[in-house]
Chains A and B, each alone.
Chain A
Amino acid sequence: RKEVEQDPGPFNVPEGATVAFNCTYSNSASQSFFWYRQDCRKEPKLLMSVYSSGNEDGRFTAQLNRASQYISLLIRDSKLSDSATYLCVVNLRTGGFKTIFGAGTRLFVKA
């Protein structure tokens, strides 16, 4: 079983749609959580951190459920510019510092 698993996608949605991505992690020592966005042939960039209380940044909402070891990202009112790969990222602090990236979920937003 992979340490971080994501919906593989691709998700094909029309502009204005709401889309949700899910991510599960297997290590209970996971301490911090993020969603990164990666455009085609570009580097990953931080989209938002994920907090236990849930957090929102404009059209984006991230949620964390530690009991179920589950992270989600909700995008409302999708724009063409949201088309990208969304990476779920988990940091473990078990003596050291270990960052694990999910394989990513591809999103295509169409006009």
Chain B
Amino acid sequence: DAGVIQSPRHEVTEMGQEVTLRCKPISGHDYLFWYRQTMMRGLELLIYFNNNVPIDDSGMPEDRFSAKMPNASFSTLKIQPSEPRDSAVYFCASSPRTRSRTDTQYFGPGTRLTVL
């Protein structure tokens, strides 16, 4: 089975440009998460979806960030306009709906974003 797929793997852009990150979750998973990882702040949850509906976006840093999930197999995270402090690795993860205690999240390989 394919895991979580993210694209692009690397993105270098200039300040002020729009950046769109893409994610394809594991088929059948009901939850999708977007995280950001930096050396200073570690791994931070930005937003998560359940059955394509955004449930909690309290981790989104500011209005420049937006996320969508138009269907069960695709999600985007958009930054407009981008700033140098947005430079980080952005991970997408998915999780199956489960009645057990083990709400395991499966991470994609990440997108390494550099904003110059």
Residues on A lying within 8 angstroms of B by beta carbon are 31-32, 34, 42-46, 49, 51, 87, 91, 96-104
Q: Which of B43, B44, B56, B101 contacts A49 (CB 8 A)?
A: B101
Considering the complex, give the chain A residue whose CB is closest to the CB of B108.
A43
Give the shortest distance, in Å, between B23 (CB) and chain A (any CB): 12
**Measured CA separation A103–B43 after assembly (Å):** 7
Cβ-defined contact, B45 with A99, below 8 A: yes
With contacts A44-B43, A97-B48, A97-B50 taken as known, whether A34 is within 8 angstroms of B101 at the C-beta atoms is no
**Measured CA separation A63–B54 after assembly (Å):** 33
Question: What are 18 A-B contacts defined by CB distance under 8 Å?
Answer: A32-B101, A32-B103, A42-B109, A43-B107, A43-B108, A43-B109, A43-B110, A44-B91, A44-B107, A46-B104, A49-B104, A87-B43, A97-B50, A99-B33, A99-B48, A99-B105, A101-B43, A103-B42
Chain B positions within 8 Å of A44 at CB level = 43, 91, 107
Residues on B lying within 8 angstroms of A by beta carbon are 31, 33, 42-45, 48, 50, 55-56, 91, 101-110
Cβ-defined contact, B31 with A97, below 8 A: yes
Q: Which of B102, B107, B109 contacts A32 (CB 8 A)?
A: B102
Chain B positions within 8 Å of A99 at CB level = 33, 45, 48, 105
Chain A positions within 8 Å of B50 at CB level = 97
Q: Which of B42, B56, B91, B101 contacts A96 (CB 8 A)?
A: B56
**Measured CA separation A87–B48 after assembly (Å):** 20
Contacts A44-B91, A99-B105, A103-B42 supplied; 5 other A-B pairs, CB < 8 Å: A32-B101, A44-B107, A96-B55, A98-B45, A98-B56
Considering the complex, give the chain B residue whose CB is closest to the CB of A43.
B107
**Measured CA separation A102–B42 after assembly (Å):** 8
**Measured CA separation A103–B108 after assembly (Å):** 19
Give the shortest distance, in Å, between B104 (CB) and chain A (any CB): 5
**Measured CA separation A102–B41 after assembly (Å):** 10
Considering the complex, give the chain A residue whose CB is closest to the CB of B101.
A32
